[in-house]
Structure 1
Amino acid sequence: MTAARPTPLPIAFAAGTLGIALFSGMDAVMKGMTIAMGVYNAMLWRFAAIFVITSLIYLAGRPSLPGRDALRFHVIRGSVTVVMALSFFWGLARVPMAQAIALCYIAPLLALALAAMLLKEKVGREVIGASLLAVAGVGLILLGQARAQMGEEALLGTAAIIGSAVCYSYNIILMRQQAMVAGPAEISFFQSFIVGGFLLLAAPWLAALPPAGQIAPILLAAALATASLFLMSWAYARAEASYLAPTEYTSFVWAALFGWLVFGEHVSSYTLAGALLIVTACVLAARRKPGLVARDTEAALP
């Protein structure tokens, strides 16, 4: 039996970029849902819809039970996702979309350090200097927020988003580890199952039926999230986390566009300059030559 043909890294990069675009659209839908019915119910009903979609896709293939390693990564990533998503969407309802996404750009930079520690991927010495540059970018965004006098709610929202970004940096590493032992359908199914299970623990106290006007947004958010997860799982199975991390930067364009079209938000010069510093820092830290995934790695993919 011949080894599977390797996937060119630019194709994996393009798939990851498209996944980010769809996820940015989901963020815009979720912001509206969070404002309408609160972060918990927006999350609960979105994951309920995702669970139905992914169950149909995953179970149609008559899958076998996941192995021990795969199940461990499913549980760990699901747990991290709960904290990451709740804090992000809570903060997103309180700050402009472009600002929230710009702050999240520290996640790929943190992921580079984690990739070196956990995945043994090679990361250059530029990481320390790039980290300082990224911190300066975050400071610039916060300075703009202070000058705009957005209020205490926006400050708390900003803190929540930074906390979410820290969780997401680990999530990037988990995507790579998880994608090496499970396929996209399995990953999507178990993530919706585990995250939904965690959310259901608080249902007796917090759950409420969604308003009729929120049914379509719930289904749209679920479809966008599922498609995004499939694309990103496919991409991270074929390229290293440190190579794909920069795809996150394209979300700023989408966040600015959706924020303007849907919520009438405008990007401040401070947010734009801060995002530029953070993106520059991450690109400098992640510089590498493109190539192909090793044949033995590609052949082992599910």
Structure 2
Amino acid sequence: MAVGSESLSHAIGLRLTSVALFATMNVVIKLAEAHGAALGEILFWRQFGAALLVGAIVGTGPGFASLKTQRFGAHVLRCVIGLTAMSLTFWTLLLLPLAEATTIGFSMPIFATVLGALVLHEATGWRRWAAVLAGFIGVLIVTQPGDGHIPLLGIATGLGAAFCTACISILLRTIGKTEAGLTTVFWFSTLSLVPLSLVYASSVKAHPPLVWALLLAIGLLGGVAQIAMTRSLQLGAVSLVVPMDYTALLWATLFGWLMFGMLPVPSTWIGAPIIIASGLYIVWREHVRRQKATRGAISQE
């Protein structure tokens, strides 16, 4: 097998692994909350475990000198938006069944397209706008606002998390031009511990050993998943690896059934394919746009 093919296979494997690990982490989050852990505790341990893991990798590998950055302000902004996204994501997981929470999160590429057009002034043709409209229709089918089968608060937190995650994707496009993936993960994990420590101090309480084990598992699972996700983008193009994220719905459905005895409602089975198709088309159109831009740059040389 050619080296390029090996790298692509490795990228896809890492992305699939990260999706499976994040899905497992989501289950552990719901179990920890069910056994008495507060949201503030869950958020703290998610970042504390990730910071320990990334710190160990950096310390035994490239060394902490490799984390030097000239864009500290950008990392602070990424931390603020990232913490907001993570808080809303975890809140959504506690409010909704796994499959519905995961499906609403798939609306992120829709928001990213809108933000790319408004903030980065990216050229967005009618095809992508049609995909955005179709995606929002899929969201409406899944959530059915006013029907009551999904709490309105869960819909709001889920869409808010998707929007904030889209904001991060826009921000990382600029940070990634000068910063290594491991550097970005390290600063996000460590900087977020400052405000989370204050939150944790006000919510910490005694737990049985099982809950402490669940909290630690959340951090380690999230840390490994985040590193695998970041590394996948270094080895493969976005258009190649991002579609793997939609396997999260398979995991959410399986875990929801096995762990909590819940299957997606009929509207989710209808709306989810529409949202996924919208996201896949947006990723594909972005791939086409970048290919055209690359060919144009080469022809001008």
Deviations 1:238-270 (A, max 9, x none): 455465443322211111111111111111110
Distance 2:129 2:85 in 1: 25
* 2:266 equivalent in structure 1: 269
**In the alignment, what sits opposite 1:131?**
132
Which one of the candidate residues 151, 157, 161 is aligned to 1:160? Answer: 157
Alignment of 1:192-203 (within 5 A): 192-203=189-200
Give the deviation of 1:128 after TM superposition: 0.9
Q: 1:253 aligns with which of 228, 231, 250?
A: 250
Check 1:114–1:15 CA distance in 2 against 1; reply closer, same or farther (3 A cut).
farther
**Structure 1 residue 271, shift from structure 2 partner:** 0.7
Say whether residues 1:90 and 2:91 are aligned partners.
Answer: yes
Once the two structures are superposed, residues 194-241 of structure 1 have per-residue CA deviations (whole angstroms, 9 ceiling, x without a partner) of 122121233443333444221221222222211111111112234554
Moved more, 81-90 or 207-216: 207-216
1:174-205 Cα offsets, whole Å, 9 max, x none, are 44444443334333322211122121233443
TM-score normalised by L of structure 1: 0.82
Distance 1:240 1:80, change over 3 A: farther
- When residues 186 and 284 of structure 1 are mapped into structure 2, their CA distance, relative to the original with a 3 A threshold, is closer
Give the aligned partner of residue 53 of structure 2: 53
Q: Is the 8 A contact 1:106 1:134 kept in 2?
A: yes
Q: Does 1:67 align with 2:66?
A: no
What's the counterpart of residue 219 of structure 2? 222
User: How many residue pairs align between the two structures?
Assistant: 285
Matches of 1:123 and 1:9, distance apart in 2: 28
CA distance in 2, matches of 1:150, 1:119: 37
Q: 1:89 to 1:223 in 2, by over 3 A?
A: same
Q: Which residue of 2 aligns with 1:282?
A: 279
Match in the other structure for 1:21:
20
Amino acid at match of 2:228: L
Q: Report how far residue 79 of structure 1 moved.
A: 1.2
User: SS of 2:284's equivalent?
Assistant: coil
Q: Distance in 2 between the 1:232 and 1:121 partners?
A: 25
Q: In 2, distance between residues paired with 1:115 and 1:7?
A: 32
* Contact 2:50–2:224, Cα closer than 8 Å, also in 1: no
Shift of 1:18: 2.5
**Which whole-Å CA distance do the structure 2 matches of 1:119 and 1:27 have between them?**
32
1:166/1:156 Cα in 2 relative to 1: closer, same or farther (>3 Å)?
A: same
Amino acid at match of 2:216: L
What is the percent sequence identity of the aligned residues?
Answer: 25
Query: For 1:238 and 1:180, how far apart are their aligned partners in 2?
Result: 15
Q: Is the 8 A contact 2:40 2:200 kept in 1?
A: no
CA distance, structure 2, for counterparts of residue 73 and residue 242 of structure 1: 25
Give the AA of the match of 2:229: M
| Cα distance change on mapping 1:250 and 1:124 into 2, 3 Å | farther
Q: Is the 8 A contact 1:82 1:198 kept in 2?
A: no
Report the CA distance shift for 1:286/1:184 in structure 2 as closer, same or farther (over 3 A): closer
Change (3 A) 1:215 1:202: closer
Unpaired runs of 5+ residues, structure 1, are 295-302
Indicate if the aligned counterparts of 2:33 and 2:39 stay in contact, CA closer than 8 A: yes
Query: Match for 1:131: what amino acid?
Result: V
Q: CA RMSD in A?
A: 3.0
> For residues 253 and 23 of structure 2, what CA distance do their matches in structure 1 show?
10
Corresponding letter in the other structure for 1:102: T
Shift of 1:106: 0.8
SS of alignment partner, residue 156 of structure 1: helix
Quick one: distance in 2 between partners of 1:176 and 1:241? 12
**Is the 1:87–1:163 Cα contact (8 Å) retained in structure 2?**
yes
1:100-149 per-position Cα deviation (integer Å, ceiling 9, x unaligned): 11111110222234456666776553221111111111111122x755x4
Q: How many Å separate the matches in 2 of 1:9 and 1:111?
A: 24
> TM (normalized to structure 2)?
0.82
Q: Distance in 2 between matches of 1:219 and 1:205?
A: 19
Contact 1:29 1:217 in 2 (8 A): yes
Equivalent residue of 2:102, what SS?
helix
Q: CA deviation at 1:23?
A: 1.1
Q: Which residue of 2 aligns with 1:298?
A: none
Q: Whole-Å Cα distance in 2 between the matches of residues 268 and 179 of structure 1?
A: 39
Amino acid at match of 2:42: A
Contact 1:80/1:171, CA 8 A, preserved across alignment: yes
- Alignment match, 2:30: 31
